Structure 1
Amino acid sequence: MPIGIIESLDHDARGIARPDGKTIFVEGALPGERVEFASYRVKSNYEIARVKRILRPSANRVPPRCPNFGSCGGCSMQHLDATAQLAAKQRVLENNLRFLGKTKAEQLFPAIYGSSWGYRQRARLSVWQRSDGKVLVGFHERKSSHVAKMTECPILPPHVSALIVPLRLLIARLSISQRLPQIEVAVGERVTVLVLRILAPLIPDDEALIRQFADTHGVVIYLQPKGPSSAYRFHPDAAPALSYTLPESGIEHFFAPTDFTQVNHAINRVLIRRALRLIDAQPGERIADLFCGLGNFTLPLARSGATVVGVEGNAELVQRAGENATANGLAETTQFAVANLFEATPESIAALGHFDKMLIDPPREGAIEVVKSLGDDAPRRIVYISCNPSTLARDTAVLVHQKNYRLRGAGVVNMFPHTSHVESIALFERG
């Protein structure tokens, strides 16, 4: 069996070895380790392999906490010490900026991190009824459409993890057990919501079982017969609204269970604090918050006395953002607009008016059309929140090499511990 020395990790947390000069991506291996591996995909210039035996373990290797690690696709880095995870993600960010963006941050910001366990306030759990009638609830297995056989999940809040087995038992008793493929979890300050994706109508016995489950476990059940907007509250009739708070800004954000929100509320608060410090909003300034969602950054920015314009392509989120601004007494210092920023042009950006500063928080696709459309009147400072280092690097190349910005600093945000997902924050200043 071939042996290799692991040099580094790739963006999927696979170890990289180069025996005989050919690149081998070894799942389960860590930098510095000497391992035996077996390849299961062989190409002319690379191979993908699984580690078979660790001959010399890394000092950063730790025992995975979850018994499902290795089979469940929810995590990929539980075998790596938490501090080393941060360092690996920082290297991914730096390498993307260097090789794709052809630039380097003037300063590396301290990593933003928090608890590695019980952090996931939002999750999409899959449901699968096996041929023997048993139901599985959880995340997909790695590189598989099958659902992992799990009875707990330590990255979920403990009270949600404790629902996995009861949910399996509930669904097995429903008449539509084979027509319920997904459960969306949304945890708020005062309530936990489960959205059941149903592809067939419930019968009265099903309804009784679901009501009993909600009452027993203290959760609110929504049913979703079609797309996300079709979700409606099923039981109980009266319950607190979903929300998360930003204590430092005195803000409470209300949201629907299928709205996009950050999965890690604790890290989100620290990220907002960092973003506010970097953008340094002042009374009288006009600030853009692009891809604003339901106002996660818009409302804290508006507390400064600046006028903040939130722009988002999802009309429902824009409506929710406006309602949250009113509920938090910020209607006078906020404005919201619906626009497809993936199709931004110099004319559409100019039509929004002059901005002193700008915050950009795009999805994984990045904000390439926005940054390409910035003109001579562009904001002097931009804070960019990224969930994909490669699109951040691509957009950085435009800002630095074409739009006369300096990359003053960048750093990682560990929004998803134990996964290879790299969130980051970057500061750009013009001139």
Structure 2
Amino acid sequence: MANFFKATVKPQTCNQRLTVSIEKLDINGVGVARWQNKPVFIAGALPNEVVDVKIIEQKSKYARAKLIAIGKQSEHRVEPQCQHFGVCGGCDLQMLDITEQLRFKQDKVSELFSRFFSSQDNVVKVDGKDLPWQAPIKSSPWHYRRKARIGVQFDKKSHATIGFRQKSTNQLAAIKSCPVLVEPLNDIFPLLKKLLAQLTVKSAIGHIEVIQADILEKHLPELRQKDKQVVLVIRQLKPMNATDIELWQSYAQQYGWHVIIDDGNQQVRLAGSKENSSAVFSYTLADKNKIYFASSDFIQINHQVNNAMISQALAWLNILPSDKVLDLFCGLGNFSLALAKYAKLLVGVEGVQVMVDKASHNAQVNGLDNCQFYQADLNSHWLLASWANGQVFDKVLLDPARAGAEQAVSQIAKLQIPSVLYVSCDPATLARDSAILIAHGYKLEKISLIDMFAQTKHVETMVLFTHSI
């Protein structure tokens, strides 16, 4: 059978220059205008601006354009603080005043609620504009991120590019500094580039993870009293030789880095002797609880927001000494330990056994003996599990991943737990899961933004539901 191929013809409208007025931001923080009776998406443009653009993609239902110049500027436009903004894919909204960023995120949640509930026939209708919004949880919009993965790419001559992915590509933007990273992580890029240029084993690093953490290390007593160490986890693709080990050690000593080598099978601290001691990383919560973790574990990256988020969870749930509390998707125990301080019993459930073990350890070392932790697939039917069957819980907190907690909230609704606190990192799945609770008689009492990732489009939310039995 013969195959016939047509040459791809670029539409005549591509590269066309035009002037448009921006009506709004879409849910990704991209400016939207109208042209030829369809939306045109323009990254970097803000509502009420008149801009000159060039069409770069033309589809039957929409077009995309590149921002060329701004004629009429929004009163909410500010100068981006990062020299790499617009190239690096990490931030979306640095050109927008932080107050308006919060307004955009709140409107995004409201819009997704309205969209979802208007498309449902069997649930109580909810107007996103009428949600009971509370004050947002926020921190400084700069120097808040305490953990990040820095990409490393090598060219044919083994010259390294160090940074973060460019927008919409797998290529890296060469980064010199990052103002959303905590100090001194924000200025570590030139040091790493200089170090990598001196390595004798070329093209040997996949990425470098940087973490700010407290460190307790038995074999290094001088570190015991030091807070907020810089930890580097080096993903090593080829074995290091003695020369490169010495180079890493020299930089680590000079700049106070704690360096861990990850060869894909194990992580080993780069030490001056053959004896490699193991470090314990931790962060301290506002209530003095300490959360111990490994470099590969998930932690909340914004320390200030995390503390405020836990405090608000306690205030909204109003834990009583007689309460039995269920913490689903409990992770390392970030919420669990704070809840347990005030409750009669805390039952934490997580899908990964390693995390269950670490949550149990964190409760133990913080002197909490009213905690029980279990492993379970929370996306399955778990009502007959030993920790749920026959147990009467007064309150439940859940903090799922982006996929949400559809199965979990369905079973919470069957248990008719009086108070449900949902911490969400995806407003679309939050709207879906909220519909399940509301359809089962729950009332949405309070909702607030959690601005964990200032300068980006990402939205986290806390919602309190109550049920009258």
Aligned to 2:155: 130
Alignment of 1:18-29 (within 5 A): 18-29=34-45
Report the Cα offset of residue 305 of structure 1: 3.2
1:257-406 equivalent positions in 2, closer than 5 A: 257-330=295-368, 332-348=369-385, 350-351=388-389, 353-401=391-439, 403-406=440-443
Aligned to 1:244: 283
Contact conserved, 1:243 with 1:255, CA < 8 A, in 2? yes
CA RMSD in angstroms comes to 1.8
Give SS of 1:318's match.
Answer: helix
Q: Does 1:142 align with 2:158?
A: no
Q: Retained in 1: the 8 A contact 2:325–2:343? A: no
Correspondence for 1:197: 235
Structure 1-normalised TM-score?
Answer: 0.95
| Cα displacement (A) at 1:93 | 0.9
- State which drifts further: 159-168 or 130-139: 130-139
Partner SS, residue 379 of structure 2: helix
Distance 2:196 2:235 in 1: 12
Which residue is equivalent to 2:203?
Answer: 178
What CA distance in whole angstroms lies between the structure 2 residues aligned with 1:386 and 1:376? 21
- Contact kept? 1:187, 1:242, Cα under 8 Å: no
Structure 2 unmatched ranges of 5 or more = 1-16, 119-125, 215-226
- Tell me what 1:234 maps to: 270
Q: Which has the larger radius of gyration?
A: 2
- Contact 2:77–2:96 (Cα < 8 Å) also in 1: yes
Question: Aligned letter for 1:232?
Answer: V
Rounded to whole Å, the distance in 2 between the matches of 1:95 and 1:34 is 24
Whether 1:66 and 2:82 are equivalent positions in the alignment is yes
C-alpha separation in 1, matches of 2:415 and 2:160: 58
Using CA pairs under 8 Å that are at least 6 residues apart, name the structure with larger relative contact order, 1 or 2. 1
How many Å apart are 1:162 and its aligned residue? 2.1
Q: What residue ranges of structure 1 are gaps of 5+ in the alignment?
A: none
Deviations 1:120-150 (A, max 9, x none): 1010110112334432221111111111112
Counterpart residue identity of residue 324, structure 1 = N
Letter in 1 for 2:380: E
Q: CA deviation at 1:337?
A: 0.5
Q: Find the residue that maps to 2:66 and give its secondary structure.
A: strand
CA contact (8 A) 1:135 1:169 kept: no
TM-score, length basis structure 2 = 0.87
What's the counterpart of residue 48 of structure 2? Answer: 32
The structure where helix makes up a greater share of residues is: 1
Q: AA paired with 1:419? A: T
Q: Percent identity?
A: 35
Any conservation in 2 of the 1:101–1:396 contact (CA below 8 Å)? no
Q: Provide the C-alpha distance between the structure 1 equivalents of 2:404 and 2:243, rounded to a whole number of angstroms.
A: 47
Question: How many positions carry a matched residue from both structures?
Answer: 426
- Residue 17 (structure 1) aligns with: 33
2-structure distance, mates of 1:408, 1:97: 15
